[in-house]
């Protein structure tokens, strides 16, 4: 599970994230949404241990990311919007390298079904340059899931996927959540988040505007918006001026 208390990230004078607190329990999927520059990616990068927060506490499965980073990182996986792969390693070599880093002794027993599930088992000897974007994404996912993480962060996981890929990604996220993983997804695709997420946190200018279950959030705005969807709630909550009217 994920516990965040008072997370703040400053770049000199600029406040990227301010006093952010929330929690994600095992089995929950939280959607992190907000306009461009709201601080979503910065938040995720802090949660994944890529950049240090200026202030605040982050706990991953009970391990403090600041003081016990190695134990915390063993429990998490972070999937960026752009597949980040080593150009010179094949699919198989990526898995071997990741297994050694995470000390997954029986990785071949895990890797093979994973590659089968992701439909890239026949690409084992291919380099990233020989794979399509969707396949690269799948390879990143295979590497990330090799050590069976209990906490997963996705930054725009549906970018560049075809309809079938999107369907599979959504299924995969839900399956991991049902298996007990705590998941955070950052995305602009609100209608897709609505299908996958149990919780939502809306950020603007680095500050939390609202968080809770989808039902709680809809309930909060029901008086003004009626039976609104997440998109309408988002525009209302963030006060996005000039949001185009819906074409019915």
Measured over the CA atoms of residue 42, residue 48, residue 50 and residue 52, the dihedral's sign is positive
Question: Residue 239 corresponds to which tokens in the numbers above?
Answer: 């006060």
Cβ proximity to other proteins, 84 vs 112, nearer residue: 84
The bridge status of strand 151-155 relative to strand 182-186 is parallel
Least CB distance to other proteins at residue 107 (A): 5
Collect all residues with Cβ–Cβ distance below 8 Å to 227 and sequence separation of at least 6.
Answer: 218
For binding to other proteins (CB under 8 A), which residues are involved?
11, 42, 45, 48-52, 69-74, 76, 78, 80, 84, 86-90, 93, 96-97, 99-107, 125-127, 129-130
Half-sphere exposure of 118 (CA within 13 A, CB side): 27
In this complex, which beta carbon is closest to other proteins, that of residue 86 or of residue 243?
A: 86
Task: Tell me the pairing of strands 55-60 and 63-64.
Answer: antiparallel
CB of 42 to other proteins, least distance (A): 7
4: number of CA atoms within 13 Å, CB side?
25
- Which residue, 7 or 76, has its beta carbon nearer to other proteins? 76
CB of 5 to other proteins, least distance (A): 21
φ, ψ for residue 77, nearest 5 deg: -140, 140
Question: 51 vs 174, which CB is nearer to other proteins?
Answer: 51
Least distance between other proteins and beta carbon 144 (Å): 9
Cβ nearer to other proteins, comparing 114 with 193: 114
- For residue 79, what are the β-bridge partners? 154
What is the CA 23 to chain-centroid distance, rounded? Answer: 14
Least CB distance to other proteins at residue 103 (A): 5
């Amino acid at each position: 599970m994920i516990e965040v208390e008072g997370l703040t990230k400053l770049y000199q004078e600029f406040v990227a994230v301010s006093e952010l607190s929330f929690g994600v329990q095992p089995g929950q999927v939280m959607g992190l949404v907000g306009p461009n520059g709201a601080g979503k990616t910065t938040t995720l990068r802090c949660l994944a241990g890529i950049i240090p927060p200026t202030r605040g506490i982050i706990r991953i499965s009970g391990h403090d990311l600041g003081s016990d980073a190695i134990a915390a990182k063993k429990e998490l996986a972070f999937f960026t919007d752009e597949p980040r792969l080593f150009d010179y390693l094949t699919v198989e070599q990526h898995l071997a390298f990741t297994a050694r880093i995470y000390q997954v002794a029986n990785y071949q027993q895990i890797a093979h079904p994973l590659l089968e599930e992701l439909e890239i088992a026949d690409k084992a000897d291919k380099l990233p340059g020989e794979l399509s974007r969707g396949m690269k994404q799948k390879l990143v996912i295979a590497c990330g899931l090799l050590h069976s993480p209990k906490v997963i962060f996705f930054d725009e996981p549906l970018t560049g996927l075809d309809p079938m890929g999107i369907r599979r990604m959504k299924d995969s996220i839900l399956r991991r959540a049902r298996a007990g993983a705590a998941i955070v997804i950052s995305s602009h695709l609100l209608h897709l988040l609505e299908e996958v997420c149990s919780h939502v946190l809306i950020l603007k200018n680095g500050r939390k505007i609202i968080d809770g279950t989808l039902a709680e959030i809809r309930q909060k705005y029901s008086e003004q918006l009626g039976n609104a969807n997440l998109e309408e709630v988002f525009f209302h909550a963030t006060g996005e001026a000039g949001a185009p009217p819906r074409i019915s």
